Structure 1
Amino acid sequence: MERVTIERLGHQGDGIAAGPVYVPGTLPGEVVEGEVDGGVMAQPRIATPSDMRVKPPCRHAKSCGGCQLQHARDDFTAGWKEGVVRQALAAHGIEAEILPCLTSPARSRRRAAFSATRTKKGALAGFHMKRSDVIVPVGGCLLVEPRLASALELVETLASVGASRKSELSVLVTTSATGLDVAVTGGKEADPEMQETLARLCRAHEVARLAWGEDVTLTRRPPIQRMGRAEVVPPPGAFLQATPQGEAALVDRVRAIVGDAAHVVDLFAGCGTFALPLAETARVHAVEGDKAMVAALDKGWRGAEGLRHVTHEARDLFRNPLLVEDLKRFDAAVIDPPRAGAEAQIAELARARVPRIAYVSCNPVTFARDAATLVSAGYRPGPVQPVDQFRWSTHVELVVGFTCDTA
């Protein structure tokens, strides 16, 4: 039995004591006791709790791996996420104002990837247990919209119908303006009889679209997502921001950074999260690697009223970034790369000296690396706005504007 004091939280949300000893479910300043195996105290007893500790609001908190920080007060979590961003920038010698974190409310996640498997008695659906492949049923989940929580019955039925006993289904469920949008991977081949069964399930559960693997898509109604004035139908499984509130916060901040720019390039544009709202006041060129997402963006733009011209191209910005000569014509750039960041594209933006850059990131570490490139090229970072769309998790997003003198 060892007794340790938690000094800080790691990036995965575990408490860290001297040694280091990793202690899940703890907070800085807490004194804990327990057996340590391989540098981990898996089952701590909290001898001295932090005043930042609260009772987890969800009954699944101890078993489900979807949340890591339900035992912490909301203001602690927000401050900790602000600190994660600050530390990432400080590692590159960058100082910037960190604004208060904007946290999405409970029950606001509009998409969730559920896991499901067949059992001897039927099927089981939910999220994985912490550090395990075991599935935990999560009825009444406090993260997701009520429509998603109610979809667990559908997910179980899909597993009963289409999962083999040796594999697990991954079922991505997204709410839309017209019903649930469901994309299933890992299932058996859908023969005509199964397709008829799936169609009946879609009708019974108000599913707008069901994609089963790569080959079968059943559409009752187009699953519409609204982006500014446009109505967009993303391809099955396409990336979307996790909560409407988080998306609105990011879009509002990007609008403010871009300001009155007349011609904007949107890099890693997806289905038009930023490009389509920006087209209300500016011409936009949208660049995205996924052709189906580009097509959805274009169709949404063509069906909307009052938008300025939006051009687009499908292009792998990791292997083939827009070059200086491509970028010189734009007054502002928006960039929203995946977790790996955008090292090659940022280098070209820095050389092109695009006057204003709105950088949206889901990874403070790669963002700070890219920010260092911009700062070394003469760009000045504005206030950094952390956005927490993944409440009670260790995940944090951010948006910040960079400006430079063009003369």
Structure 2
Amino acid sequence: MDIYERLKIRKRVNGAGLLTRLGGSLMAPEVLDAMREAAQSYVDIAELQTRASEIIARHTGAEAGLVTSGAAAALTLGTAACLTGHDVAKMERLPDTEGMPNEVIMYRMHRTGYDHAIRAAGAKIREVGFNDRGAGAGVRGLEPWEIEAAISANTVAIAYTMTPSRQPALRQVAEVAARHNLPVIVDAAAQLPPKENLRRFVDDGASLVTYSGGKAIRGPQGTGILCGRRELISAALIQQLDMDVSPETWDPPEGLLSRELLARYPHHGLGRGFKVDKEEIVGLLVALERFASMDVGADMQARERQLAALAALLGDVPHAKATLLSASATGRYPLLELAFDEKALEANAYAISKRLQAGAPPVHLSERRAYEGILVVDPAGLRPEDSAAIAHAVRSLNKPRNKSEPCK
């Protein structure tokens, strides 16, 4: 009996992608081994984070890096660093920012539920631009002059959400920010793969970049990465650390934390609740080095073959049409789209998804196109044995439906 059986928790088939609500990704044995080894000793967390900074910097091209408790926490810590710098009095106040510069400029089309993490630090988001492209009302997007016009003495940063369209170009935004000596915070939580994105955004002028550590990198689910300019990473780290220390004896490690902090020791910062344990830091570092050295192309080909085999298993299933999208077509993972005849099945895609999740085992497919009658098999979280379970579950949809189940 394994741990989930002991806890009476159902294990699920994850064809929906690497999602937090399903536990992120599955860690490799060497990551788990490193975490188990790390758990056997005590270390100074500031020293461990300083070493982590060097490793993250090597793989991202940034000046420094920090292991965080997820990508959202990285956004909050990065924003806090932009609000305070190394001003200990400002750190003490957060998230109260009344009377101090506290505005973060953000393109209207880049706003998501995740920008709550920016506001959590005490920042006020100032929207710029129109949604003409998103609404299909026109061809113009955000232009540099619109950002420039919004900059004031109250501006502390520009936030940029990396989207598939990459509009406006990050380089353009970074050029405007540089003219005004403002940092650019890039939310790239879900932008891996491709592996090249580890360096691309820093190369394009980002001051801070956030990544999820528990998705494509396949580290501990509760981890993230914040990388970028050294002085900002230093300000983020000091607001994350346990600062219940004696000024008379605390000796911060060389290499990351600013020496100016020795003149005025901060108390616990806004990020104290975002602590990361030694096991997670080590696990993330091992996973990052593994991801940086892996053959992503070969991995994508293997996943594409798995989806092609699944499509063949579903070839004769009534009322469901499978279409394979290659990794070269998506630019990331290959995908298998399942278009359902909702009328014949007497259920829309959302109801179909609910039925799949109620099966034994529960099967989760991506609902990103459910509004079009399509569920998507994302192979990022699939194990080899999962294809048969998905095929069986989809075939079972043609069995008579319980009449108490709603169609819509």
**Length-normalised TM-score, structure 2:** 0.31
Which protein, 1 or 2, shows the higher relative CO under an 8 Å CA cutoff with sep ≥ 6?
Answer: 2
Structure with a larger share of its residues in strand: 1
**Length-normalised TM-score, structure 1:** 0.31
